[in-house]
Amino acid sequence: MPTLKFPLLYILMLSIFTQIKAQKTADIVKKVLKATSEFENYDIKFEKYFKFQSEKDTIKEIYESVVCRTDIEYNIGWHRIYQHHNMAAKSLIAINAKEAARLNFKDHLYYNQLLADDEKKVIQTVQSQLFHPLTRFKEDYKGFEVMKTDEPFISLQKLDTIRDAGKRVKLINKTILSINKSTYLPEVEESWTWFSNGGLQYSKYRLLDYKISSGKRFESVLKTSDSLVAYIKSFTNGDSLKEKNKKVYRQVRIGDTASIFRGTKHQGETAFDFSALSDSIVILDFFYTTCGPCMAAIPEINKFYQANLNRGISVLGVDPFSSDWPKLELFITEKSVTYPIIKTPQDVVLAYGVTGYPRMFVIKNGVIIKIYYGFAKGLEKELQQLVDGLIKG
């Protein structure tokens, strides 16, 4: 039939184009793998940006690293990490044939992992400190496609969509590699992850400078690594303080008595005392103003608040970050927040064991009934059903 000729031709051309594109990608990946295989012993400088969805700000760092590869896919050497722009020393990491040790200059505490204790974990720790685009294997390039070949870079892109058992999108991840057209080294990697709850995670690596060294350098690097590990371990062991630090955050569970706290209402800067609500149902939502999932939760909390205005239920947003407070009124207006926001000191975060945001507590008569970790759509309906049951009961 004449009407089928164009669709068949289109499908054939699309198939040929796809095959050509796949072959082109494979040829580029082959050249990249050959170029990066030279990086067994090298000095390197790169910048790193990363922002987890639970973090408020993007962290920016500069790494200066000396790396030598061993026969067990393990890397000895050291990494000096600086704060971006001002190049203030932030951390020193040293890895020898036995362990990886890190010194934080801010508190002069060190943390270490022994290779004999957990080889895989130590190797992963070391790999995480390297220039990530150089650590790829052939299988890591699966799913990448050539997007641009403009001078001086070739762009490879990979897009992944992860779904849950109900085939609903959980997250979308996009990674773009910029390959130097003359050296075939991946000089920039950017990665974005969008979560269904509205959160965003971002990372970027950018190569600044590098020098490939001879394999004969291994013994001298190992000797220096041993010295640096010993130097790092001359400071206070941070691992010994972990349990102490953990105890600062209260381990809050359902059925526990809610901590009494004081703060300031954003309306009129009036004093707030939580003890005044000890005989009622209270919803506490811990948030901060640049938290993506926190922002996604606000419309549903608003709807719940408006639907329960005359039922003796208190809904309170809790912002413990003083850096938010000067712009809090503007934020409330822009986001149309209708329920009260309470400004509190940081010890309230510790008292409620809040280690991630948003964190919501449903409290009745001073007892914690329900804890919500993060945000998921349908919060308004779930809260309504829960509160209806509490009122009836």
Helix (H, G, I), strand (E, B) or coil at 222: helix
My answer on whether 46 and 72 are in the same domain is yes
Segment 196-210 shows an average pLDDT of 89
- CA dist 348 and 244 (Å) reads 18
Same structural domain, 112 and 241: yes
Whether residue 281 is predicted with pLDDT greater than 70 in this model: the reply is yes
> What residue numbers bound the domain in which 103 lies?
24-245
| Confidence check: pLDDT of 13 > 60 | no
CB atoms within 10 A of CB 128: 10
On whether residue 17 sits in a domain, the answer given is: no
Cβ–Cβ < 8 Å for 49, 202? yes
- Which of 177, 212, 245 finishes a domain? 245
pLDDT greater at residue 280 or residue 7 = 280
**One domain for residues 181 and 303:** no
User: Can you give the pLDDT at residue 392?
Assistant: 84
Positive or negative torsion for Cα 9, 11, 17, 19: negative
Residue 320 lies in a domain: yes
pLDDT tens column, 138-151: 899 999 999 887 77
> Quick check: is 15 in a domain?
no
Per-residue model confidence (pLDDT) at position 246: 61
Residue 135 has pLDDT above 70, yes or no: yes
Residues 231 and 273 in one domain: no
Residue 16 has what pLDDT? 45
Please report where in the chains the tokens 């926001």 appear, as a residue.
Answer: 341
Q: Is residue 12 one of the residues assigned to a domain?
A: no
Q: Residue 315: what pLDDT?
A: 96
Is residue 168, in this structure, part of any structural domain at all? yes
pLDDT for position 7: 59
Q: Is the pLDDT of residue 11 over 50?
A: no
User: Is 18 part of a structural domain of the chain?
Assistant: no
Phi, psi of 192 (to 5 degrees): -120, 135
List, for residues 212-229, the tens digit of each pLDDT value.
988 788 889 999 999 999
Q: Do 29 and 133 sit in the same domain of this protein?
A: yes
Provide the token pair at 52. Answer: 């987890």
Q: Is the pTM of this model over 0.75?
A: no
Residues 170 and 296 in one domain: no
Q: What confidence score (pLDDT) does residue 18 get?
A: 47
Question: Which of these three, 221, 245, 269, is where a domain ends?
Answer: 245
> What pLDDT shows up at residue 367?
95
The residue-averaged pLDDT of 195-208 equals 87
**Looking at the predicted structure, is the pLDDT value of residue 12 above 80?**
no
| Residue 238 shares a structural domain with residue 336 | no
Beta bridge partners of 264: 271, 343
pLDDT at 22: 61
In a shared domain, residues 145 and 272: no
Residue 158 pLDDT greater than 60, yes or no: yes
Average predicted confidence (pLDDT) for the chain: 86
> Which CATH number goes with the domain that contains 181?
2.50.20
Contact call for residues 56 and 321 (beta carbons, < 8 A): yes
Q: Percent of the chain at pLDDT above 90?
A: 50
pLDDT for res 72: 58
pLDDT in tens, 284-335: 999 998 888 898 899 999 999 999 988 889 999 999 988 888 888 899 999 9
| Residue 132: pLDDT over 90 | no
* Residue 184 structure tokens: 């075939």
pLDDT digits (tens, 9 = 90+) for 170-185: 889 999 999 999 999 9
**What pLDDT, on a 0 to 100 scale, did the predictor assign at position 85?**
78
pLDDT tens-digit readout, 84-96: 878 889 999 999 9
Same structural domain, 123 and 269: no
* 185-212 burial code (b ≥16 CB/10 A, e <16): bbbbbbbebbbbbbbebbbbbebeebee
**214 neighbors 157 (Cβ within 8 angstroms):** no
Q: Which of 216, 245, 274 is a domain's end point? A: 245
Confidence class for position 21, pLDDT limits 50, 70, 90: low
Is 6 within a domain? no
CATH number at residue 368: 3.40.30.10
Residue 234 and residue 276 in one domain? no
For residue 118, the model assigns a pLDDT of: 78
Number of structural domains in the chain: 2
Residues 281, 310, single domain; the answer is: yes
Give yes or no for residue 270 having a pLDDT over 90.
no
Indicate if the pLDDT at residue 14 is higher than 60.
no
* pLDDT, position 47: 95
54 and 180 belong to one structural domain? yes
Higher pLDDT, 23 or 45: 45
In a domain, residue 121? The reply is: yes
